[in-house]
Structure 1
Amino acid sequence: MLERDDLPPLQSLVVFEASARLLSFTAAAKELNMTQPAVSQQIRSIETALGVKLFARIYRGVMLTDEGHSLLKTTQKHLKELRDALQKLQQKNRHPRINVATDFAFAAFRLMPRLPEFRKQYPNIDIRIQASQSEVDLASTQADVAILFGDGQYQGYRSERLLAERVYPVCSPKLLANIPPIDSMQALSSLPLLKLNLEAGQQWMDWARVFRLNDANTTPPEPVMEFDNYTLLVQAVISGQGVGLGWSPLLDDFIKSGVLVPLEDFAVTSEHGYYMVTSNQQALSDPAIAFLQWIVSTNDKHPITP
């Protein structure tokens, strides 16, 4: 039986939990801001102290042994309890805070313009926005709430659709003023198109699918410019450099103000959309519930079904 002095250091257990969860010493090192050899050394120290193998080394990775699975379950349970206890102590005299994970497009065009309203209603709740251009990794964000674009299928998480995907071409008024009416897909294909580059796994609509859903007999031309960031693409559209794809209601504020013009005749919908995603493993805090109720209330003018 292990005595108190024989217990592995807390840091070693943190390293073990990350390595076991990610099944990669390299990924654990990146997450913990350590080197891969340092992670390997910590794991060897625990295995030596316990006298058991926690990992089986395989080609290009590791897998947990039965003993490793057993220790992971216990470690995750008690690390969570420790984190929760420390968080409660830290926040005892602070405002409650919620972490919201989403992509740059939703954060910039939908969430940030409306956050002053939330803070006015809930002045004692602080919000931390975790925005990413890449697909959000739910396991590593530690977010209380995630607002994600996709099909709503997130294993181990609850999801509720907030906004359905409705897409249409958008351009600036000054671009439209200098061209004939855009009354066909052929006319649309004659315009300079701006493209958003997608990473593997991302499910946003693209020009090829817009043309296909409009039963076009032509394929879209090569884009004149490509962007890895949707915010930059929108700025290029606003400045009159071409036509981009707009997601409703992300760009509604620009359209209502006349900064952008939607080409509604070519609007398309899909089964995808933005979903509110929360963990099945953890009960929602009161601040998180308040935020979810508020974000739904901001959607009253935009039905969640196509």
Structure 2
Amino acid sequence: MSPNGLRVFEAAARHLSFTAAAQELRSTQSAVSQQVRALEEALDLKLFDRVHRGVRLSEPGQALFEAVQEGFATIERTIDRLQQRHRNPRLNILTDFSLASYWLLPRLPVFRRLHPHIDVRIMTNQGVFDWQGQEVDIAIVFGDRRGLEGAPRLLDEEVFPVCSAGFLEQHGPIDDLDRLGEVPLLTLTADQGQRWLDWPGYFERLGGRAHSAPSELIFNNYPLLVQASIAGQGVALGWRGLVDDLIERGMLVGLENLSLGTASGYGVIDVHPEERRAAKRAFVDWMLSS
């Protein structure tokens, strides 16, 4: 069974056409047909059903097609990884929208000045992270200490209410939980199992009563929630390390007398610890010292 035969089979199965496969491979329809027939004979399997004006995959053909595509994809990723060693090293960083927007991106120009030869690719996911099977080198993940055991800690979770100066002037002062429970709160959903602190958990941990006013807006994206807070539409939970710059620039006011710390936070996970790459080590060291 020749590798070229599998390549011809993959093209024919993808197009469901020997003619289209021949055009892609710069071959002829008869040559493709012969290669497929030789593969079927070698495997003693019928890979295609010949139908009017074309072909369709048989059940064994579909199974082989999926396996061949997965194998080719693995080979391509491996070749790309090997070639990267002879070009500028590239790092794929996976994190959520919040940390990417408010912590990583504002600091990234410093890293690029220090390491101009390292290419950084930022990948974001707001839901539960699954970096298995993805081209990820470093994952910056939010979770509790047990879930991030052994991972260097980037940020501990400390939250406090934030709002615009105009909102505080209209609704303030907001200096205790009772008053906080009476104003519009902006809610970040955790409908995909995320572990960050929400308003019910915040009030419960501080011993306050439940929020009595209806939330005006609900978001599944933290940057949008922060923009709504800046626009004066309500009070949001702000995370230390993410909203600090917005407070310093006067875009938000932090009600830090109502601050709460938890055992959760952001950890840095080396997805492939067996790969001891200088670029990866440089990025992790820079993050943890920033």
TM-score scaled by structure 1?
0.70
1:88 to 82, 91, 109: 82
Q: Check the 8 A contact 1:193/1:242 in 2, yes or no.
A: yes
Q: Unmatched 5+ residue regions in structure 1?
A: 13-36, 48-53, 55-74, 299-306
Amino acid at match of 1:123: P
- 1:139 has 2:158 as partner: no
What is residue 126 of structure 1 aligned with on the other side? 119
SS state at 1:139 partner: coil
1:27-46 residue pairs with structure 2 within 5 A? Answer: 42=61, 44-45=63-64
What is residue 200 of structure 1 aligned with on the other side? 192
Q: Within 1, Cα distance between the matches of 2:175 and 2:3?
A: 78
Give the CA RMSD over aligned residues: 3.2
Q: Give the 3 Å change call, closer, same or farther, for CA 46–125 of structure 1 in structure 2.
A: closer
Q: Give the 3 Å change call, closer, same or farther, for CA 178–90 of structure 1 in structure 2.
A: closer
Q: Within 2, Cα distance between the matches of 1:39 and 1:91?
A: 41
Amino acid at match of 2:127: S
Q: Check the 8 A contact 2:90/2:119 in 1, yes or no.
A: yes
Q: Give the 3 Å change call, closer, same or farther, for CA 193–125 of structure 1 in structure 2.
A: same
Shift of 1:11: 8.9
Of the two, which has the highest radius of gyration? 2
Shift of 1:45: 3.6
Shift of 1:179: 2.8
What is residue 16 of structure 1 aligned with on the other side? none
Q: Deviations over 1:95-143 (max 9, x none)?
A: 1110000000000000111111011100111100001222221113321
1:149-188 residue pairs with structure 2 within 5 A? Answer: 149-151=142-144, 159-188=151-180
Shift of 1:241: 0.8
SS state at 1:130 partner: strand
Q: Give the 3 Å change call, closer, same or farther, for CA 185–88 of structure 1 in structure 2.
A: same
Percent of aligned positions that are identical: 35
Q: Give the 3 Å change call, closer, same or farther, for CA 252–182 of structure 1 in structure 2.
A: same
Residues paired across the two proteins, number: 245
Q: Within 2, Cα distance between the matches of 1:39 and 1:227?
A: 46
Amino acid at match of 2:104: L
Q: Within 1, Cα distance between the matches of 2:122 and 2:57?
A: 31
Q: Check the 8 A contact 1:211/1:218 in 2, yes or no.
A: yes
Amino acid at match of 1:137: D
Q: Within 2, Cα distance between the matches of 1:246 and 1:38?
A: 54
1:34-113 residue pairs with structure 2 within 5 A? Answer: 42=61, 44-45=63-64, 83-89=77-83, 92=86, 94-113=87-106
SS state at 2:171 partner: coil
Amino acid at match of 1:144: D
1:270 to 262, 270, 281: 262
Q: Check the 8 A contact 1:158/1:279 in 2, yes or no.
A: no
